[in-house]
Amino acid sequence: MLTSKEKSDTRRLPMMPIRDVVIFPHMMTPFVVGRESSVRALEEALAGDKKIFLATQHDASIDEPRPDEIYTVGTVANIVQSLKQSDGNIKVLVEGVERGKVLSVTEDEGFFKATVKTFQFKIEQGPTMEALLTRVNTLFEQYAKISQNVNYDTIVAATRGEDPGKLADTVGANLQLAIEEKQELLEIFDPVDRLTRVAEMLDIEIEKLSVDRTIQGRVKRQMEKAQKEYYLNEKIKAIQKELGRGEKSEFDELKKRIDAAGMTKDAHEKAMTELKRLEQMPPMSAESTVSRNYLDWLLAVPWKKKSKEIRELPFAQEVLESDHYGLDKIKERILEFLAVRRLVKDPKGSILCFVGPPGVGKTSLGMSIAKATGRKFVRLSLGGVRDEAEVRGHRRTYIGALPGQVIQMMKKAGVRNPVFMLDEIDKMSTDFRGDPSAALLEVLDPEQNYMFQDHYLDVEYDLSQVFFIATANVMHTIPAALQDRMEVIRLSGYTEIEKMEIAKRFLVPKQLKGTGLTAEQIQFEDSGIQELVQHYTREAGVRNLEREVGNVCRKVARVIVNAQSEKGLDKDGDKPSKKKPAKATITPDKVNQLLGPQKYREQAAEKKNEVGATVGLAWTEVGGSILTTEAAIMEGRGKLTLTGKLGDVMQESAQAAMSYVRSRAHALGLPRDFYRYMDVHLHVPEGAIPKDGPSAGITIATSIISALTSIPVRADVTMTGEITVRGRVLPIGGLKEKLLAAHRHGIREAILPAENERDLADVPENIRKEMKLHFVNSMDEVLKYALERDIEMVPLSAMSTAAEIVERSREEKTTH
């Protein structure tokens, strides 16, 4: 599409500056003329051909603008009508004819005269021109629909005809544009360029109107929602008033509950302040919901309600005995606590920590304490907790904030003096969100927990009446500061006799009920239970034993159901048979038949005395266990090799044992230089399992000495103890668990440090009676009991060197 300038024309016309409006060609515009200079210019035009040049001034606030304060491009207009008003002003209606550019301006007879140059363009029609016209027409119609400020006649006039210049001027005059933007459009003489610019402006204005329309719709909806809520609230108030409940019945009820809750002074003041804020808020606002939730939590937490505590020791003892078998030391300690609480008028809350392997009854013991004392019981599992907010809660500034688990559990208990169990306290961890164990320091400190402050409630809450019981499998993962705040009570593993009694009293009846069996259908013999304990479980507690009892019951139940299905009808096929299936008696053979081959076998009973193999004792998180240590001697240069994933402490014990053997070479009948030509390889089987600790010292030393002297170690003897380089035997920990493990594995003789003799009080009496215990102070005593025969002393003159021993060994192999 091309445009070509056809011709131009120059004429001299009266010039009138106009304010706050840009007059386009083809546009009918009324305005009032009041300035004297403008009136004279108007009269000059009316006296002539009624043509006048209208140009917009830069600043509308200037009454008498100079020529340089007026735009140089304006519109040549015809004066269609003029009417002089009573105040001296003239109301004028003009029609724009064409745009013109001022070449020069003079002031004559009190008004401006301008030499104006006008241009006429010839438009070449074509597909591009038609497309542009169609696009502008479409956009203008769309704009008119959205804005609703454009007259329908204007739309029809604009879309009729094919003159691009007229279309551009008509659309531009009706757009809601700033004076500067309209002047910019007026100054474009080329009709095609002007029409293209109008299309761009239409796109922009349509986008603006669409955004405005969206925002207005959103605002309208919000206003409608607010008005609807206001209307409904007012209606609810009117209904309540009509029913005689009053407008403030809900807030009055809250106030009564706050007064009756028994809160502390600070908590009461905070609750009343929050209530006043709630009264002033719109009921459906987000802030109102937050305040109401906060008040609900303050009212839900028990402030003064307490359980009536039972302090009768006979009743407590009866409950503990009926719920748990064994654990005599633990029961005594609990009864002592209860006795003290009976003597003290206002006792503080107790804080105990049960430490022991899994399955020994730590959690159920806490429930029994609650039952024995008549208190409510709540349990909080701390396993895997790594966020401080789990204990203290989140501040109310966070969306969806809640109190911590301590306050939530107190709400669940409903009283201020429950038995509160903190389960798996050793399984907590730490990350960037804080240390929950540090937050528990305040909870478990009797000197601080009477003013515990949750982040959400933000008021002091008294936890001093709570009976806290923590449980753990190990102590080394609990921070020292937290350990210091608790009284630790250790629960050891059960003996074989205790497990059998627990199975008969608790596990078997529980599993019979769970599987729907009765005592008439199944009977567990003592030998059958013993078979389960000895050959199908290896644990300190009784969880696996309960599972195996359950397995037996389920298999018997299946047999009974199958038998009933097969014999359910008589020969006629229409009446149920009254014949009962045979009663299942659980004997060792029946256990083997139902559960398959034995999972665990008595290791010590079948083991022979061997050179370099010593049975030691170890302690793990699940109780005690036996640990075999093997030593082998080979040609070399005195290297000590340690395998079996041994920890640093255990490796140091092996070094100390080797140093002892070298220092006592003569007394042990060994050449003085044996270590120069021999390597010692020490291995502890089950190499994938990490092992550490000093208690294997005498076990390692015995294995090395046995391998060097070729004297077998007794397989029916086990041992534990730390060794020094001088051969002293030092005490160890976990004596009870280790002896229980030895007893489980059929070993009835053990070598122990002499200083551990006082710890026998914790070992069950039947273990002490059935096992032969040797208490030793030195390695010489250990060897006396551990080796198959005594070590023969060899005179120094007759003693062969290690090199001679190795050489003879080579000759013997060659001859062989």
Output the six-digit token pair for 643: 């395998």
Find out whether 349 and 468 touch, Cβ atoms under 8 Å: yes
Which residues have a Cβ under 8 Å from the Cβ of 740 and sit 6 or more positions away?
492, 493, 494, 495, 540, 623, 624, 764, 767
What is d(CA 145, CA 396) in angstroms, rounded to the nearest whole number? 49
The residue assigned the tokens 């198959």 is 788
Burial 333-371 (b: 16+ CB within 10 A, else e): ebbebbeebeeeeebebbbbbbbbbebbbbbebbbbbbb
Q: Is residue 284 helix, strand or coil?
A: coil
What is d(CA 549, CA 528) in angstroms, rounded to the nearest whole number? 10
Q: How far does Cα 239 stand from its chain's mean position?
A: 46
What is d(CA 356, CA 475) in angstroms, rounded to the nearest whole number? 9
Question: Side chain identity at 469, as an amino acid letter?
Answer: I
691 - beta bridge partners?
646
Find out whether 701 and 779 touch, Cβ atoms under 8 Å: yes
Find out whether 53 and 40 touch, Cβ atoms under 8 Å: no
Output the six-digit token pair for 82: 């003029």
Provide the H-helix boundaries in 451-542.
480-484, 496-502, 508-515, 526-535
CA-based diameter of the chain, in Å? 156
What is d(CA 668, CA 691) in angstroms, rounded to the nearest whole number? 29
Find out whether 349 and 309 touch, Cβ atoms under 8 Å: no
Provide the H-helix boundaries in 281-416.
286-300, 313-323, 328-343, 362-373, 389-392, 405-413
What is d(CA 439, CA 455) in angstroms, rounded to the nearest whole number? 11
Output the six-digit token pair for 626: 């036996």
Find out whether 355 and 490 touch, Cβ atoms under 8 Å: yes
What is d(CA 721, CA 733) in angstroms, rounded to the nearest whole number? 9
Burial of 759: CB neighbours in 10 Å, binned 0-12, 13-18, 19+? middle
Q: Is residue 28 helix, strand or coil?
A: strand
Output the six-digit token pair for 547: 């599972």
User: Which residues are known catalytic residues?
Assistant: 695, 738
Backbone angles phi, psi at 312, to 5 degrees: -80, 115
What is d(CA 335, CA 353) in angstroms, rounded to the nearest whole number? 16
Which residues have a Cβ under 8 Å from the Cβ of 797 and sit 6 or more positions away?
none
Output the six-digit token pair for 467: 């009976």
Half-sphere exposure in the Cβ direction for 192 (13 Å, CA): 15
DSSP code per residue over 675-720 = GGSEEEEEE-S-TTS-B--STTHHHHHHHHHHHHHTPPBPTTEEE-
Q: How long is the chain?
A: 816
Q: Of the candidates 783, 600, 591, which has an alpha carbon nearest to the alpha carbon of residue 699?
A: 783
Q: What angle do CA 16, 17, 23 make, to 5 degrees?
A: 90
What is d(CA 535, CA 650) in angstroms, rounded to the nearest whole number? 30
Find out whether 414 and 424 touch, Cβ atoms under 8 Å: no
Find out whether 805 and 670 touch, Cβ atoms under 8 Å: no
